[in-house]
A and B are shown apart, each in its own frame.
Chain A
Amino acid sequence: MSAREQSSYGLLAQFDGAASLLQAAKALHEAGYKRFDCHSAFPIHGMDRAMGLQQSKLGWIVLLGGFSGAAGGMLLQWWTSAIDYPLVISGKPLFSFQAFVPITFELTILFAAFGAVFGMLALNRLPRLHQELFNSGRFKQASDDGFFISVQAGDPQFDEAGTKSLLRQLGAQHIEVIERG
């Protein structure tokens, strides 16, 4: 491995459309690449399978959020109304779950939504102020109409010359090296 390879973050290859990006992703996955990503301005249907990615685990985080909201909501109302400040109101029992359903429901939704948003950010390791990909001027097109594949130098299959020629074979129109830092 040359010094240059170690200092670079990886390769960035540009493709001409959604279809060629999907093809290339499939080919990279089949060639055994693990640490690569496909960038586009919108999600591309079928890309998860082409890249060999598992289903997102976000659902479990949301479920956990929902449970904690439900439990927290019911506990809050039970403890305040029946234990800490017991006050008989229109002759009703201190604890009757029926009256506490609406707030429990709202808090279930609220905490599940927190799970969805903050869980999504955490799984994506966001927020981040900077990442190596932003060193490329060309990469700015990814949020407009560009289609890119980035392959990290840390990938066991990575070999700058070999990966470059594979990407070119797959139809990359432009390939550049992304610097570190």
Chain B
Amino acid sequence: MEAPLIAGSPSFGSITEKVSSIVEAKFSLVWLLWFGFISSIALVFFGAIGYVFWEGIGVWGNNVPNGWGWPIVNFVFWVGIGHAGTLISAILFLFRQRWRTSINRSAEAMTIFAVICAGIFPGIHVGRIWVSYWMFPLPNQMDMWPNFRSPLMWDIFAVGSYFTVSLLFWYVGLIPDFGTLRDRAKSKIRQFIYGILAVGWNGGNRQWRHYEKAYLLLAGLATPLVLSVHTVVSFDFATSVIPGWHTTIFPPYFVAGAIFSGFAMVMTLLVIVRKLYSLEHIITMRHLENMNKIMLVTGMMVGYAYGCEFFIAWYSGNDYEMAAFKNRAFGHYAWGYWIMVSCNVLVPQLFWFKRLRTSVPVMFVASILINVGMWFERFVIIISSLSQDFLPGSWGFFKPTLWDILILVGSFGLFFTLFTLFARFLPLISMAEVKGVLPQADPHHQGEST
């Protein structure tokens, strides 16, 4: 028999109490120390960006032929992380995977914060920040419009829509829980803030009726959207003629990789969060195990894509294509390639074994290694292809500078700062949805009432 979704058969009231008490507790010293630490890393991020604005992007390692450099590696990495949140909240919802209810809120929050981090990189990568509004189709004094045939333009729309829709979806999910926090609020300020956020929710079935429809439709809209986002990101590469980029496998390969890395990030965060806030009965081993299974599947898809790329390079008979792949595996950046393969293909194989995929330390370490591997995947794709293209005369090797490293580390600071604030001020778990999957929520349930 399958384990119950929520362990220990709690009452409705105890779910409210457990989740709300996290938001209502006093600040602990540990929280303040952690917040001070992580937010100062976020400040390093903004400080380093400020320095780049002041000096210009010459302080980075980017130079011809490596025009894209680390900022675009980081962009693709972060936007990929976001995908797991939408997969959990939308795709698993459509497939009626009710186990998603314990983890969808925090996964969606992670999506939004990852897309915020991602969105910063193309913005600072344009170099002349004061004209970054050229990325948008705004009427301007030059009477010019952006080139809509460019995949980079498609990217602006894909990531922009993705961020907006994810934010709306997350907010709609939060409305009933804001109502709960409003009704529990002791102070005037909390009552006011959560009251505004709850927009007058009264839990009436006349409201639920439209609400559930809206949630279902949003899930249905977010599903093709999330698949399109990393597809469009992969078009940035696939529509060019650079060896190693110009392949049709890119869209599915990028989407699978995105979901893979995103699940690893959700795992890293949830293992910490469920321990810190003692939510083990709501985020159970069954949830963690299911996520590990998804990582095993998507990891194998990514591994298949790595193999397929090599096969097609050989099968195409194109010398440049083959040379690009030989360079990846045995050239200047071979170490990056083998980090990628070991972390993304070998590490998830651990999850074949039930003992390993139900071990919290194993999955925690594996999830971090997978994210290291997925960052290196983008590094390998972007850096190795750009540094050696058709003409040996135009080859050039990329080396990151201190500012590249500070900005990468700093982006993690921003991401974890935002997640720390989320875990403190918003309900980490969707109370309304978790109550809905308890056995006594079913009006035809036989047993004692609450």
A contact set with B: CB distance below 8 Å: 16-22, 25, 37-48, 51, 53, 55-56, 58-59, 62, 76-77, 80-81, 84-85, 87, 89, 92, 99-100, 102-103, 105-107, 109-110, 112-114, 116-117, 119-121, 123-124, 126-131, 133-134, 139-145, 150
Interface majority SS (helix, strand, loop, mixed), chain B: helix
Measured CB to CB, the closest approach of chain A to B66, in angstroms, equals 24
Check B199–A128 contact: CB distance below 8 A.
Answer: yes
Q: Do the beta carbons of A59 and B217 come within 8 Å of each other?
A: yes
Chain B hits for A20, CB < 8 A: 449
Measured CB to CB, the closest approach of chain A to B114, in angstroms, equals: 18
Q: Can you name 18 A-B residue pairings with CB atoms under 8 Å? A: A18-B440, A41-B432, A41-B435, A62-B217, A80-B148, A85-B144, A89-B149, A99-B148, A102-B151, A102-B232, A106-B154, A110-B160, A113-B222, A126-B199, A134-B202, A142-B202, A144-B13, A150-B204
A123 to B204, CA, bound (A): 13
Let me know if B368 is at the binding interface, CB within 8 A: no
Cross-interface CB contact of B157 among A21, A40, A80, A107, cutoff 8 Å? A107
- Complexed CA–CA distance, A21 and B205 (Å): 11
A18-B443, A113-B218 known; A43 vs B208 contact (CB < 8 Å): yes
Instruction: Determine the residue in chain A with the shortest Cβ distance to B145.
Output: A80
7 interchain residue pairs of minimum CB distance: A128-B200, A145-B12, A120-B214, A127-B199, A17-B449, A80-B145, A37-B204
CA distance A142 to B221 in the complex (A): 30
- List, in ascending order, chain A residues with CB within 8 A of B143's CB: 84-85
Interface residues of B in 181-234 (CB under 8 A from A): 182-184, 195-196, 199-214, 217-218, 221-222, 224-225, 228, 232
5 new A-B pairs (CB below 8 Å) besides A42-B432, A106-B225, A143-B179?
A119-B214, A120-B213, A126-B207, A142-B183, A142-B203
Residues of A within 8 A of B418 (CB): none
Least CB distance from B441 to A in Å reads 6
Least distance between A82 CB and chain B CB atoms (Å)? 10
Chain B residues with CB under 8 A of A45: 442-443
The interface residues of chain B lying within 8 Å CB-to-CB of A47 are 205, 208
Assembled-state Cα–Cα distance A55/B212 (Å): 11
Which chain B positions have C-beta within 8 A of A16? 449-450
**A110 touching B176 in the complex, CB below 8 Å, given contacts A44-B441, A81-B149:** no
Quick one: which of A18, A19, A84, A113 contacts B168, CB cutoff 8 A?
Answer: A113
Known contacts A17-B449, A19-B444: does B203 contact A117 (CB below 8 Å)? no
> CB of B279 within 8 A of chain A?
no
Smallest beta-carbon distance B221→chain A, Å: 5
Q: How far is the CA of A135 from the CA of B354 in the complex (A)?
A: 54
CB-CB under 8 A from A43, the residues of chain B are 205, 208, 211-212, 432, 436
Which residues does chain A contribute within 8 Å of B196, judged by CB atoms?
127
A166 to chain B, nearest CB (A): 19
Residues on A with C-beta less than 8 A from B11 are 145
Query: Is A59's CB under 8 angstroms from B213's CB?
Result: yes
Answer whether A124 and B207 are a contact pair too, CB < 8 Å, given A117-B172, A143-B183.
Answer: yes
Residues of B within 8 A of A (CB): 11-13, 16, 137, 143-149, 151, 153-154, 157-158, 160-161, 164-165, 168-169, 171-172, 176, 179-180, 182-184, 195-196, 199-214, 217-218, 221-222, 224-225, 228, 232, 235, 431-433, 435-436, 440-445, 449-450
- CB-CB < 8 A to A127: which residues of B? 196, 199-200
Name the CB-closest residue of B to A129. Answer: B200
**Residues of B contacting A103 in the complex (Cβ-Cβ under 8 angstroms):** 148, 153-154, 157
Cα–Cα distance between A119 and B195 once the two chains are bound (Å): 21
- Of the residues B16, B201, B445, contact of A19 by C-beta under 8 Å: B445
Q: Could you say which of B13, B168, B224 contacts A145, with CB atoms under 8 Å apart? A: B13
What chain A residues lie within 8 Å of B211 (beta carbons)? 43, 120, 124
CB-based contact B161/A110 at 8 Å: yes
Known contacts A18-B441, A99-B148, A106-B228; A116 and B12 CB within 8 A of each other? no
Residues on the A chain within 8 Å of B202, using CB: 37, 39, 131, 133-134, 139, 142
A18 to B144, CA, bound (A): 60
Q: Are B205's CB and A124's CB within 8 A?
A: no
A-side contacts of B151, CB under 8 Å: 102
CB distance from A92 to the nearest CB of B (A): 7
Whose C-beta in chain A lies nearest to the C-beta of B156?
Answer: A103
Residues A107 and B161 in contact in the complex (CB < 8 Å), given A39-B204, A102-B232: yes
Q: Which residues of A lie under 8 Å from residue B183 when comparing CB positions?
A: 140-144
What's the Cα separation between A77 and B147 when bound, in Å?
9
Distance from A133 Cβ to chain B, minimum over Cβ atoms (Å): 6
- Complex Cα distance, B225 from A165, in Å, reads 52
